[in-house]
Amino acid sequence: MTARETAIRVLYEVEKNKAYSNIALKKVLGCSNLSTADNAFATELVYGAVRHKMRLDFIISHYSTQKLKNLSPWILCILYIGVYQILFLDKIPHFAAINESVTLAKRYGHAASARFVNAVLRVVAKGGEVKIPSIEHYYSHPKWLVDMLREQYPDDYKKHLAANNTPAPITIRVNTLKITADRLCDMLIEKGIHAQADGDIITISKFGNIVELDEYKKGLFIPQDKGAYLATLAVAPQPNQLILDVCAAPGAKTTQLAQLSNDMAEIVAFDIHPHKIELIQKNAQRMGINSITAIEFDATTTNNNYIAKADRVLADVPGSGLGIIRRKPDIKWLRIPTDIELIIKTQKLILQTSAQYVKQGGYLVYSTCTVNKHENGDIIDDFLSRHPFCKLEERQLLPHVDQCDGFYYCKMRRE
């Protein structure tokens, strides 16, 4: 199975069964024997097609003699990767994109399908881009999301939309309990991996699967974005303190709390899912961390064992994910406004519940991986109007400004 065929099988799962592309990609790649380069190419095709779906739909509709809704899902997926290669991947010759797509159309359709795909791709290659009439089609975002960003970030929302379509870099956090950032960079560079440190965060070049690196297996690093890293820094944990991480999986922020306190605090990590508790434990063990206790617990309910006892509480609540679209482009198509209304109710409940654990003078840090102000500042303003906390620090990180995920955090002290 080629990289292109792998990509259309993944896209079929995404289009037909509403699967998340990262999950479908992992499943299909796991059954293939692709080289590292073909693996990367298939991944590029999948994410590129998902990122630019609305734009590709518009272009295909413009050049096609058939309505998209009348096309076989297989043929539509073949057209997605074909048009994406022609218009977005300069290194791929047009003839290669067209010929391979026609071959796939014969396999997943019939002779007429192949002729149709050939005709559409050839006219796209000849005609190129077409004038895109709307912002949502040009930047490939649903109208409700464009409207939200325009309302909340009127001065630079287009830059924000463009940033969402830019692949996120691979970033890792150094396990400073075992190694320095400079030394880990040197080790990675010796393996031919470009690595550049910014504090404890290292940006690395594209690599097949970083969890296969010996340095990962030895617990020298963990994948983490700079936004999550900065939010966790705000917790400022100290040795001998009781620290709660109430929505902890997969454990990147939890292990960072352990590092910041030199593995000498008492850190309790909550998560509602048993398999995620296991993941937190495995990460802590791999990194040689002993100060973390992971407990299966629902953060929306009160744990009476910790009322007014914690020095620090981190509530990294589940959110809409609108800050990580560049990593998970499916969010644009699977998320709907009514989802966010329900999410906000859960966020408020977790924040109010978490506040009960903070002792007088202790810190509460609320964070999300979203740029939606209704999930961030609005929730904090409402919370502070009814609880004895004062705001110490607040920050909204944006992909096009801060070169990291869209992340929000607010640090508060209990009075």
| Per-residue pLDDT reduced to its tens digit, 69-80 | 999 999 999 999
pLDDT of residue 6: 96
Which residues contact residue 210 at a Cβ distance below 8 angstroms, ignoring those fewer than 6 apart?
170, 172, 204, 216, 223
Q: Give the confidence band of 129 by pLDDT, cuts at 50, 70, 90.
A: confident
Among the residues of 130-266, which ranges form H helices?
135-139, 143-152, 157-164, 181-190, 214-217, 226-233, 252-260
Q: What is the pLDDT of residue 36?
A: 84
Give pLDDT, residue 84: 98
pLDDT for res 336 = 94
Output the average pLDDT for the chain.
96
Residue indicated by tokens 């919370």? 383
For each of the domains in the chain, give its residue range(s) and CATH number, in order of start.
3-133 (1.10.940.10), 169-223 (3.30.70.1170), 225-414 (3.40.50.150)
Q: What angle do CA 104, 105, 110 make, to 5 degrees?
A: 130
Report the alpha-carbon distance of residue 171 to residue 205 in Å, rounded. 9
Looking at the predicted structure, is the pLDDT value of residue 371 above 80? yes
Q: pLDDT for 289-336, tens place per residue?
A: 999 999 999 999 999 999 999 999 999 999 999 999 999 999 999 999
- Chain-centroid distance of CA 412 in Å reads 26
Task: Give the pLDDT band (50/70/90) at residue 18.
Answer: confident
Q: In what order do the strands lie in the sheet with 242-245?
A: 292-296, 266-271, 242-245, 310-316, 358-368, 407-414, 389-397
Q: What is the model's pTM?
A: 0.94
Nearest to 85 by CA among 59, 117, 48: 48
List the beta bridge partners of residue 407.
397
Q: Give the tens place of pLDDT for each residue, 390-406.
A: 999 999 999 999 999 99
pLDDT of residue 219: 98
240: amino acid identity, one letter: N
pLDDT in tens, 181-191: 999 999 999 99
More confident residue, 39 or 366: 366
Q: How confident is the model at residue 282 (pLDDT cuts 50, 70, 90)?
A: very high
- The closest alpha carbon to 55, from 262, 290, 272, 332, belongs to 332
Give yes or no for residue 344 having a pLDDT over 90. yes
339's tokens: 């989802």
What is d(CA 160, CA 8) in angstroms, rounded to the nearest whole number? Answer: 29
Per-residue pLDDT, 137: 96
Catalytic residues: 369
> CA 245 → CA 123, 255, 269, 323, distances in Å?
55, 10, 5, 21
Helix (H, G, I), strand (E, B) or coil at 88: helix
At position 337, the amino acid (one-letter code) is P
Per-residue pLDDT, 29: 87
CB neighbour list of residue 313: distance below 8 Å, 6 or more residues apart: 243, 244, 246, 354, 355, 357, 358, 362, 363, 364, 365
Instruction: Provide the sign of the torsion angle of the four alpha carbons 250, 251, 253, 256, taken in this order.
Output: negative
Residue 265: CB atoms within 10 Å:
21
In the structure encoding, which two tokens stand for residue 366, read together? 């609320």
